[in-house]
Structure 1
Amino acid sequence: MTTKRSPYKIDALLFQLTERDLRVLEDLERFRLLDTRLIQRLQFPVFDGGPHQTGGSATRTALRILARLEGHGLVAHVGRRVGGTRHGSTQTVWHLASTGERLLRARRGEPGRRRYVDPSPLFQAHTLDIARFAVALIERAREQHCEVLELLTEPATWQQFHAAHGGALTLKPDLFVVTADSEHETHSFVEIDRDTEHLPAILRKCRLYQQHYHTGAIQAEQDGLYPSIVWVTPTEERAERIRRAITNDPSLTPELFRTGTQETTIPIVAPYSSQSPTE
């Protein structure tokens, strides 16, 4: 038998939560799945002069907060914990539980709810890789003189448009990112590749981007700017194969696409120096 939280209990829960608790819930809502380490990097960062001087201290705090949120029924972990409740606990994968989702929706005054379905291993791995790229980007922004102005995940990234032949199409980027420093903005669609798709499938997605580009819809709103399309690959060898396939496809404009590993594409999505303009 399941029980439902009444509006009164949701309101009572809200009074017990800190702003950081709510940010953890919002992170899980946005990324759908996060492991403990990613939550720690997002909300319990380690830096000189901060509350957490070591990764161990930050992780212990994150685990304590997550256990409290789990006790309230706001978050839950996927499957069983890897390595038990202590060893390997940073690999525990968390999702927003139904009560957590209702709480966030009630806070925004939104009706309805999203049904949770246990993710397949492939979906889980891909979703966590998307989150890892996003977290690395956020960390870069903390370290550099830049900001992440916009960071959208699916389905907020979806672009619905009509092809030249009139059919309705939907482009589904993994991420849409806008970063900026004091002088420039960079707009990017990001695709996280895990080397599980054959190159023809990659090229089909690229052609869909090309069709979207040719509509001119985004350019009309952004003074002629179309976001860079960035493929993030697990290895440089995979990046080179995708790069070569794009170059050899006569239907594609290679200049629209950038390809590389996370280490080489983060500076493309946020190409800003650590030097401030006055230094």
Structure 2
Amino acid sequence: MTRDNVADLLFQLSDRDRAVLESLRQLRLMTTALLRRLHFVHHTDEAEEDGTKKHTTEAAAAIAAMRVLGRLERRGLVARLTRRIGGVRAGSSGIVWQLGATGERLLRVIHGDPKRKRYVEPSRGFVEHTLAVAEIAVQLRELERQSAVELVALEAEPSAWRPFLAPHGARSMLKPDLFAITASGDYEDHWFLEVDRATEHPSTVMRKAHVYERYAATGTHQAEHELFPAVVWVVPDSDRKKALEAALATERGLTAERYRVVTQAEFSALVVGEAVIQTPELKAR
């Protein structure tokens, strides 16, 4: 795709079209319902704002979302997966979308990405985990829209990954699902977010916690920001929350106050109501 082709195509796309493509580039997979919540907002004010069109009813927003996604699909900018979330009964809301071949080439040229990504039908586990991560990202965007917090930064995989040198000089990589910075009042808060679907033994989660400990020991984030992010596991239910909290409490070698476990239902309250963790290392300025 040449620069002229890119310019011609961009001229034909609205701000919202581009915002949809950028969301799929960042989060990889999103359902129609998630895209609607992000870019087709139900509101009485229909002004265009930052690629988000506001619609008078939820039904109007849903219809508009499918109309736009259908148009982008016909041009090869987005593609739907064979698998739906929630089955046929979920209707169009359960369709899972990713960038299409043309959309991937367009954004690769715009962002200067050197490597072509191969888009194939992913596994069920990958789809479910990626959509769970996208749900948390959308919740953060919604909190910002509601003026509950300011979302200063939001990074998904692989942008959220942090390379570092482990003890003895070994190269290692911290791979959180999301990294976010939120601001409320005079405080800025940093979060490493892990979306847990209760598919792994708690011992696997503890091994990931030790990677956070090794990364924290480098002091890299603290040197730049004067704090280390809170590490939060977002889990599906209270039983899983209790299991991970018990494992964290008994695991040796962890800085206990660094970690939090919340259910999906508790996540927004944590960000808004408990954004500042008052410890010497984690306290934000």
* TM-score scaled by length of structure 1: 0.89
Q: Does 1:128 align with 2:131?
A: yes
What is residue 113 of structure 1 aligned with on the other side?
A: 116
Q: Does 1:204 align with 2:207?
A: yes
What is residue 24 of structure 1 aligned with on the other side?
A: 20
Could you list the per-position Cα deviations for residues 248-273 of structure 1 after superposition, in whole angstroms to 9, with x for gaps in the alignment? Answer: 01211110000011222223234489
Q: How many angstroms does 1:80 deviate by?
A: 5.4
Amino acid at match of 1:222: H
Tell me, yes or no, if the aligned pair for 1:228 and 1:258 is still in contact at 8 Å. Answer: yes
Amino acid at match of 2:80: H
| Structure 1 segment 67-216 matched on structure 2, within 5 A | 67-79=70-82, 88-216=91-219
Q: Does 1:12 align with 2:8?
A: yes
User: Could you say what the CA RMSD is over the residues aligned between the two structures, in angstroms?
Assistant: 2.1
Q: How many angstroms does 1:81 deviate by?
A: 5.5
Q: For the structure 1 residues 226 and 87, does the alpha-carbon distance in structure 2 shift closer, same or farther, using more than 3 Å as the test? A: closer
Q: How many angstroms does 1:166 deviate by?
A: 2.3
What is residue 255 of structure 2 aligned with on the other side?
A: 253
- Distance in 2 separating the partners of 1:105 and 1:26: 11
* TM-score scaled by length of structure 2: 0.88
What is residue 270 of structure 2 aligned with on the other side?
A: 268
- Structure 1 stretches (4+) deviating beyond 6 angstroms? 82-87
Q: For the structure 1 residues 109 and 211, does the alpha-carbon distance in structure 2 shift closer, same or farther, using more than 3 Å as the test? A: closer
Q: For 2:131, what is the secondary structure of its paired residue? A: helix
- Distance in 1 separating the partners of 2:86 and 2:254: 46
What is residue 39 of structure 1 aligned with on the other side?
A: 35
- Distance in 1 separating the partners of 2:208 and 2:55: 42
Q: How many angstroms does 1:165 deviate by?
A: 2.8
Give structure 2 stretches of 5+ with no counterpart: 47-53, 276-285
- Distance in 1 separating the partners of 2:30 and 2:239: 28
Q: For 2:167, what is the secondary structure of its paired residue? A: coil
Q: How many angstroms does 1:130 deviate by?
A: 0.2
Q: How many angstroms does 1:106 deviate by?
A: 2.1
State which drifts further: 159-168 or 235-244: 159-168
Could you list the per-position Cα deviations for residues 159-187 of structure 1 after superposition, in whole angstroms to 9, with x for gaps in the alignment? Answer: 11112232111110000000112311110
| Structure 1 segment 51-66 matched on structure 2, within 5 A | 51-66=54-69
What is residue 277 of structure 1 aligned with on the other side?
A: none
Tell me, yes or no, if the aligned pair for 1:190 and 1:231 is still in contact at 8 Å. Answer: yes
Give structure 1 stretches of 5+ with no counterpart: 274-279
Instruction: From the two aligned structures, give the one with the greater strand fraction.
Output: 2
Q: For 2:169, what is the secondary structure of its paired residue? A: coil
**1:230 maps to which of 218, 229, 232:** 232
State which drifts further: 45-54 or 125-134: 45-54
Amino acid at match of 1:190: L
Q: For 1:165, what is the secondary structure of its paired residue? A: helix
Tell me, yes or no, if the aligned pair for 1:24 and 1:39 is still in contact at 8 Å. Answer: yes
Amino acid at match of 1:154: E
Tell me, yes or no, if the aligned pair for 1:66 and 1:75 is still in contact at 8 Å. Answer: yes
Q: For the structure 1 residues 192 and 87, does the alpha-carbon distance in structure 2 shift closer, same or farther, using more than 3 Å as the test? A: closer
